[in-house]
Amino acid sequence: MKKWSHDTEINASIEQVWNLLNGSLEDMQKIMPNVIENKPIKVTDDGIGSIYRQKYQEGKRISEYDVETLIHMDKPDHKELKVGFTLGNMFEITALYELDRINEDETYFRYTTTNKPLKIFLKLFMLLASNKIVVQFVERVKNVAENQKNN
């Protein structure tokens, strides 16, 4: 299994950033534009164990998978969301989003993802994988949140 993590400080409130991660499909698409559908299949009271069927489009190809909420913590000064899904019977993936309030207009954001190849031939591929996608995602969240604040 491979693990990547990246963090940053965002000049936006913790609630603004949280809405991008835990809000509507429209909010989610601001930071994950390739997600074209996020339908609830099972929703629990505390969020943990909730399952959403997501559709992801890359070019003309559309992938569909179920995303399960593994951690859901929504406190005023600390928020966490961890989801897990299996992509194409090839990879087990988790994504952990952690937010901490620095002050009213600043948020500390850490994104951690794991990727476990389910096929032997993919293990070599994972050795060559870099954290470039993780860094780009964190920067996209930062840019979207800060631009929303300025509008």
Tell me what pLDDT residue 125 has.
79
Q: What percent of the chain has pLDDT over 70?
A: 98
Tokens 């989003």 label which residue?
A: 97
How far is residue 70's CA from residue 51's CA, in Å, rounded to a whole number? Answer: 10
Tell me what pLDDT residue 149 has.
65
Average pLDDT, the chain: 94
What does R_g of the chain's alpha carbons equal in angstroms? Answer: 16
Region 40-48 average pLDDT: 95
How far is residue 6's CA from residue 76's CA, in Å, rounded to a whole number? Answer: 22
How far is residue 102's CA from residue 2's CA, in Å, rounded to a whole number? Answer: 30
Tell me what pLDDT residue 150 has.
62
Torsion of CA 47, 48, 52, 57, to 10 degrees: 110
How confident is the model over 54-78, as pLDDT tens digits? 999 999 999 999 999 999 999 999 9
Could you confirm whether domain 2-150 is CATH 3.30.530.20?
A: yes
How confident is the model over 86-128, as pLDDT tens digits? 988 899 999 999 999 999 999 999 999 999 999 988 887 787 7
Residue 50 carries which DSSP code? -
Specify the pTM. 0.93
Characterize 13-31 residue by residue with b for buried, 16 or more Cβ atoms within 10 angstroms of its Cβ, and e for exposed: bbebbbbbbbeeeebbebb
The better pLDDT of the pair 120, 134 is held by: 134
